[in-house]
Structure 1
């Protein structure tokens, strides 16, 4: 049984983002369910999905006035670095670390989603961002200065809070 299951609690009411998140949950579950011979390919598929998923969110942030080095994007970079490091360790024979990391991702993801991704989703809705076209329907709602935090009130200076 997977450590992480999709539920309504993970919905952010932003269809494209929710789709990416459902696919991430499925990819982690595939890693957890994989037999040893299929484990590394499942992990590599998770990396490909995560790279695309994070890349999309990073584009959305840049399109809506997040600074390139905001903490949300930096967390994406750190997670991808760890995923690649674990891949290399698994290639060297450490499948146990890979399995442990899948469980850790299942713990990390809901926290990331409910903090950083929830703040991003709120920001995207506030500015009327259309992720499929990259257009901003309410440019007047874009922040005057690039957002350097994660976009939530807990980690952005008051003058950089989205909305």
Structure 2
């Protein structure tokens, strides 16, 4: 496939080469790439079977990296703490039994609406969870509640 939009500053010519190589290696592949430096576009490429420079594409999970960086900066600055309740920062989050969910629980995908109500009395030695390893002492546990955390929630 060929590149249909090709506006690249000379210093970024290797980016154009890699982009063209990807298109050539997979004929069904289509892509767009725009890079700004100091507010100015330095790379503007589009190509492949299904795209032109004016094509609209969906962006999925594009904000995760930026969100992680912002969260890390907030933690470093002391404005956010992993062991604090989300409701301490966002009171409305406490609705539907989520009042004890910590920032760390939320960021680790170790919570869902109603997760604590379905597992009353969680402590490091008890559990009513149906996950095979949930009752074992070596299972990952929420630092606030002591409730076992399903392995799939900590390995994503």
Q: Higher helix share goes to which structure?
A: 1
The structure showing larger relative contact order (alpha-carbon pairs under 8 Å, at least 6 residues apart) is 1
Q: The TM-score by the shorter chain falls in which range?
A: under 0.3
Larger Cα-atom Rg? 2
| TM-score using structure 1 length | 0.20
| TM-score using structure 2 length | 0.21
